[in-house]
């Protein structure tokens, strides 16, 4: 195996260790904030010494993050809005106070536990390692395949740290072993498209956080006390989730192409 693949795999291992440590810690503390902070800290300590900020794409934070939120959120509004107009989705009563509390707490926990550490490990380190040798398509496939092994690695690490806390599994508890990897694959490609579109990892982070937030409102709203929940007419309506991910990926490709053409045009003008 070429060394570049070993370096790339380190990103998945780092995220698996970070998530496994967070899972082990969650059994010892009474809140979700400490495990989330542990996950982010472990990922940063493992990845950051080997990569500069620019290599990881930690540049243009505000614009990159806002782009990720707007593109993903806008895609979700269009697709889920169409589903609502078609009668496939009905929305419960809005409780603004509860919704604001959910949005704030979810933003903190989801960013620390999932969005930031996963992006810095996979679309940051792993993508950069593979892109140093391969073209975009191979790097994207390799990064996404390594993304798929993270849940299994994290359950293994948690099992080693606290044998009684979990069982070895390739997918998170409660997830379907068939549909989850399929959705994760599409999600992984969308996150890579997000980074390519702007050159900023913060676009991937914004995309990741928005995806988690939208899904927890629509799928798990009632169980999470989000203050606003959706009722789906049938399980088939869940196909709207990959639908808005696909729309976001297309939007990122368009943005990326426009960015490339603008840079190419600027280079030609500078040479003239």
Q: Beta strand 230-232 with 89-91: parallel, antiparallel or unpaired? A: antiparallel
Are the beta carbons of 81 and 157 closer than 8 angstroms? Answer: no
Q: How far apart are CA 102 and CA 8, in angstroms?
A: 35
Predicted local distance difference test score (pLDDT) of residue 267: 62
Q: How many CB atoms lie within 10 A of CB 130?
A: 23
Q: How far apart are CA 48 and CA 57, in angstroms?
A: 12
Q: Which of 187, 188, 184, 161 is nearest to 172 (CA)?
A: 184
Task: Write the pLDDT tens digit of every residue in 58-82.
Answer: 999 999 999 999 999 999 999 999 9
Instruction: Name beta bridge partners: 90.
Output: 231
Task: Name the phi and psi angles at 35, rounded to 5.
Answer: -60, -40
More confident residue, 144 or 1: 144
Q: What share of the chain is helix, strand, coil (3-state, %, to 5)?
A: 80, 0, 20
DSSP, res 49 = G
Residues 6+ apart with CB under 8 A from 106: 212, 213, 216
Q: How far apart are CA 228 and CA 224, in angstroms?
A: 10
Task: Name the phi and psi angles at 232, rounded to 5.
Answer: -90, 135
Task: Write the pLDDT tens digit of every residue in 24-50.
Answer: 999 788 789 999 999 999 999 999 998
DSSP, res 178 = T
What are the structure tokens assigned to 126, written together? 């792993």
Q: How far apart are CA 152 and CA 156, in angstroms?
A: 6
Task: Note the pTM of the prediction, 2 decimals.
Answer: 0.94
Percent of the chain with pLDDT over 90: 74
What are the structure tokens assigned to 266, written together? 């600027």
């Amino acid at each position: 195996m070429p060394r570049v693949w070993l370096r790339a795999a380190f990103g998945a291992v780092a995220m698996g260790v970070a998530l496994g440590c967070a899972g082990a810690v969650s059994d010892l503390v009474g809140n979700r904030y400490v495990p989330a902070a542990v996950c982010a800290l472990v990922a940063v300590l493992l990845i950051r010494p080997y990569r500069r900020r620019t290599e990881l794409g930690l540049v243009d934070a505000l614009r990159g993050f806002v782009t990720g939120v707007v593109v993903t959120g806008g895609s979700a509004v269009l697709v889920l809005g169409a589903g609502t107009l078609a009668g496939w989705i009905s929305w419960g009563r809005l409780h603004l106070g509860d919704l604001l509390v959910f949005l704030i707490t979810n933003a903190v926990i989801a960013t620390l536990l999932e969005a930031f550490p996963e992006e810095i490990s996979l679309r940051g380190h792993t993508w950069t390692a593979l892109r140093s040798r391969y073209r975009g398509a191979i790097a994207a496939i390799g990064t996404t395949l390594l993304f798929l092994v993270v849940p299994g690695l994290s359950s293994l690490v948690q099992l080693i740290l606290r044998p009684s806390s979990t069982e070895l599994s390739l997918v998170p508890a409660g997830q379907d072993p068939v549909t989850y990897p399929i959705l994760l694959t599409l999600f992984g490609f969308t996150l890579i498209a997000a980074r390519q579109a702007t050159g900023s990892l913060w676009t991937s982070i914004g995309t990741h956080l928005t995806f988690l937030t939208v899904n927890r409102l629509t799928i798990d709203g009632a169980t999470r006390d989000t203050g606003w929940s959706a009722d789906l007419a049938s399980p088939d309506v869940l196909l709207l989730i990959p639908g808005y991910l696909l729309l976001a990926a297309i939007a990122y490709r368009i943005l990326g192409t426009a960015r490339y053409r603008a840079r190419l045009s600027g280079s030609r003008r500078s040479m003239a």
